[in-house]
Structure 1
């Protein structure tokens, strides 16, 4: 990376982005707080799907909590806090994209196993395995945060004025092999979601004997379609934009990616009840055979 300071640059207020992030915060905070409360109080954490959704809600809440500083920065063009505070809020913000994409993919795979292999996958689809997978995800994020925090701290020192979020103006980015890791990871998860959606759609049409008897196929397919919408709208554009950061306006893509914390409750949590009624009926019927 070529850390060339751009002399004379200083952040300016950008009320449009402040308003966008403010609206996302105002909508995302109550939606995710209520969703998390419903998941914990009304659904069993022994269900792997609920385990993934609870952690998805926690990830979204962490993102929402980091937004007030971003709103203040874009509203005033100033950063009154320390570099450490900037690093913490930025890391929380960035990791939500990766974290949400992983948990959404876990939900997609879990639904694939529940619909296509409801009996053979029972030993895999346990709360114990779900918590182990979740623990590995959070551990992976913590480890990667350490290296990124060190790099960000070094970059912030090149800024002649207190700044956060737009600190890339203080240096000339140099594309390295490491920057391709996140787009490749997102592309792999998108591919997994496409494959799962295709297999479930084909299974529901063909009525295979080993598949679950799901009466409301629309509700089932809605989960998979919304997964693809989330990747296409929120995750993939930003991942590609990071590769062309020199020429691509990145902040509109960041705004799109941030919207995932508002879409998650609408697309997943509020459709959970009907879906799990169908799943419980399938499990009950299978246990009686």
Structure 2
């Protein structure tokens, strides 16, 4: 995001980004890889979570919500790739630009909030097992929580939902989509600062809560000496914190830094922020690994599928071997000698 003014004169850093063909190609290739891995990994995860995983615990409900946002991103990224390969020239209309932008940022912040919710559920189940013991009640809370996440994120993104996010640049002959925000989208610098900080808070507070929950889980399991469960908890914590630090932290800290530089010092970090958004999309590729470590039922079903596939391959090989033996035994004696 950038808070450029509504005038047609852009800063050199932003113009250089639009004129850099190598940057757009690199970002496009990264998005292509992410799209392929996203659709395959999350497609399989959604099938397992919806049709092969029972019971639908709160963690499973949160994982379904996370997979849904990841798949939405996987569907939206090809449009972003086309936009980049056309030299940052958007030709699909203002409404489509708004929809894809909202999908992009909703995925990021709903993913953050959903991972926080999974960590809270594990914290309650292991550290505070007496709370929310009734499964039916916990399921209802999980479903309501998913709707509240979407409502919260969309309310924070409301200024973008009510603004034309396309921007014409006559000197380059292109129309950008969400690469240049009009300064009059919000009434004042104070409003801009509040908007950026509210977006940043959607990353910062869930990060602290998630870290606290998983560290508490590890300490509890270490005290109870449950070695196997403790190892899985450590792996899950490592994976979640990796997603936060690798995928979400760079883009959110650069967003805050860029906004401060842009609003108060008229300088830009937008090229670095644009590149950091590529890493934020990697979360949709790493989320299936979180499911694997977070859900025993998900692990079991995935292993069953892998084992069934391996067994079916072995069975087909054995069947072909038996057919060849049977053919050799039933062949005429003269023909067998001739061969």
Say yes or no: does 1:238 pair with 2:251: yes
The 3 A distance-change label for structure 1 pair 242 and 255 is same
TM-score of the superposition, structure 1-length normalised? 0.83
Cα offset, 1:142, TM superposition = 3.5
1:136 matched to which residue of 2? 148
Say yes or no: does 1:269 pair with 2:272: no
Structure 2 residue ranges without an equivalent (≥5):
259-267, 301-339
The 3 A distance-change label for structure 1 pair 186 and 49 is same
- 1:110 pairs, out of 99, 106, 121, with 121
Tell me the distance in 2 between the aligned counterparts of 1:215 and 1:276. Answer: 17
- Whichever of the two has the greater Rg, that structure is 2
Q: Is the CA contact 1:45–1:127 (under 8 Å) kept in the aligned structure 2?
A: no
1:252 matched to which residue of 2? 275
- 1:92 pairs, out of 103, 125, 134, with 103
Cα displacement string for residues 247-281 of structure 1 (whole angstroms, at most 9, x for unaligned residues): 3511221011010000101x222335537789xxx
Tell me the distance in 1 between the aligned counterparts of 2:154 and 2:200. Answer: 19
Q: Is the CA contact 2:106–2:154 (under 8 Å) kept in the aligned structure 1?
A: no
1:70 matched to which residue of 2? 80
Say yes or no: does 1:176 pair with 2:193: yes
The 3 A distance-change label for structure 1 pair 90 and 178 is same
Query: Which SS does the other structure have where 2:276 is aligned?
Result: helix
Cα displacement string for residues 62-93 of structure 1 (whole angstroms, at most 9, x for unaligned residues): 11111011111111212221011111111100
TM-score of the superposition, structure 2-length normalised? 0.72
Tell me the distance in 1 between the aligned counterparts of 2:85 and 2:228. Answer: 50
Q: Is the CA contact 1:158–1:171 (under 8 Å) kept in the aligned structure 2?
A: no
Query: Which SS does the other structure have where 2:56 is aligned?
Result: coil
Tell me the distance in 2 between the aligned counterparts of 1:15 and 1:43. Answer: 40
CA RMSD of aligned residues (A): 2.8
Cα displacement string for residues 17-42 of structure 1 (whole angstroms, at most 9, x for unaligned residues): 11111111111111111100011111
Cα offset, 1:171, TM superposition = 6.2
Structure 1 residue ranges without an equivalent (≥5):
279-289
Say yes or no: does 1:227 pair with 2:240: yes
Cα offset, 1:176, TM superposition = 1.9
1:192 matched to which residue of 2? 209
Query: Which SS does the other structure have where 1:200 is aligned?
Result: helix
Q: Is the CA contact 1:159–1:167 (under 8 Å) kept in the aligned structure 2?
A: no
Task: Tell me the matched-pair count.
Answer: 270
Tell me the distance in 2 between the aligned counterparts of 1:262 and 1:48. Answer: 22
The 3 A distance-change label for structure 1 pair 148 and 50 is same
Say yes or no: does 1:166 pair with 2:169: no
Cα offset, 1:99, TM superposition = 0.4
Tell me the distance in 2 between the aligned counterparts of 1:84 and 1:276. Answer: 38
Q: Is the CA contact 2:42–2:67 (under 8 Å) kept in the aligned structure 1?
A: yes
- 1:149 pairs, out of 157, 161, 178, with 161
Tell me the distance in 2 between the aligned counterparts of 1:171 and 1:87. Answer: 17
Q: Is the CA contact 1:35–1:57 (under 8 Å) kept in the aligned structure 2?
A: yes
The 3 A distance-change label for structure 1 pair 222 and 49 is same
Tell me the distance in 2 between the aligned counterparts of 1:225 and 1:92. Answer: 27
